């Protein structure tokens, strides 16, 4: 999935869109997405000027954005202006290595379960096959 289709599934835009490409998607199961990390990211100006590191919260947010694409694709539904897909919880977040400019962040997210509109996911972020971060994510779709 290229960026033009990603933009149909996510309301996020620059500078908060954190998915550049979807490499694979198995509806109802898993997604693998990419985020190309560049020195031009606005957060590197202050995090940290002499040793740029992608903030962990943005790595987790990138996993949540991948989860949103997976959810909408699984439901065969595009987002609209009558509802919003909220990221409502994080469990077991761990950060194993820094993510720096030039890295390609590979996001692996799989559905653990869905119950009464609450989706639970298992996410991993990898750089060069090394685990950079992992977390369990909770998301839900709510009317506006």
Band (pLDDT 50/70/90 cuts) for residue 68 is: very high
123 within 8 A of 66, measured Cβ to Cβ = yes
Which residues are known catalytic residues?
47
Q: How far, in Å, CA of 55 to CA of 36, rounded?
A: 14
Among candidate residues 136, 134, 94, 135, the one with its CA nearest the CA of residue 119:
136
> If you compute the radius of gyration of the chain from its CA atoms, what whole number of angstroms results?
15
Predicted confidence at residue 49, as pLDDT, reads 86
Q: Is the peptide bond before 15 cis (omega within 30 degrees of 0)?
A: yes
What is the tens place of the pLDDT at every residue in 77-125?
Answer: 899 889 899 999 999 999 999 999 999 999 999 999 999 999 999 999 9
66-70, 110-114, 139-143: segment of lowest average pLDDT: 139-143
97, two tokens = 């290595």
Band (pLDDT 50/70/90 cuts) for residue 66 is: very high
All structural domains of the chain? 3-143 (3.10.129.10)
58 within 8 A of 111, measured Cβ to Cβ = no
Order of strands across the sheet that contains 21-26: 21-26, 30-36, 104-115, 118-127, 130-143, 83-95
Q: What angle do CA 81, 66, 41 make, to 5 degrees?
A: 95
- pTM listed for this prediction: 0.96
> pLDDT above 70 covers what percent of the chain?
100
Residues with Cβ within 8 Å of residue 17, at least 6 apart in sequence: 6, 7, 10, 65
């Amino acid at each position: 999935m290229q960026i033009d289709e990603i933009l149909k599934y996510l309301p996020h835009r620059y500078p908060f869109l954190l998915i550049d490409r979807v490499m694979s998607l198995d509806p109802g199961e898993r997604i693998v997405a990419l985020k190309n990390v560049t020195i031009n990211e606005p957060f590197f100006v202050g995090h940290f000027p002499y040793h740029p590191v992608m903030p962990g919260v943005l790595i987790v947010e990138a996993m949540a954005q991948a989860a949103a694409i997976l959810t909408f694709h699984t439901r065969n539904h595009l987002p609209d202006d009558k509802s919003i897909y909220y990221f409502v919880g994080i469990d077991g977040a761990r950060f194993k290595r820094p993510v720096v400019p030039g890295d390609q962040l590979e996001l692996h997210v799989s559905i653990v379960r869905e119950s009464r509109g609450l989706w639970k996911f298992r996410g991993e972020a990898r750089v060069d096959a090394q685990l950079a971060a992992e977390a369990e994510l909770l998301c839900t779709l709510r009317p506006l």
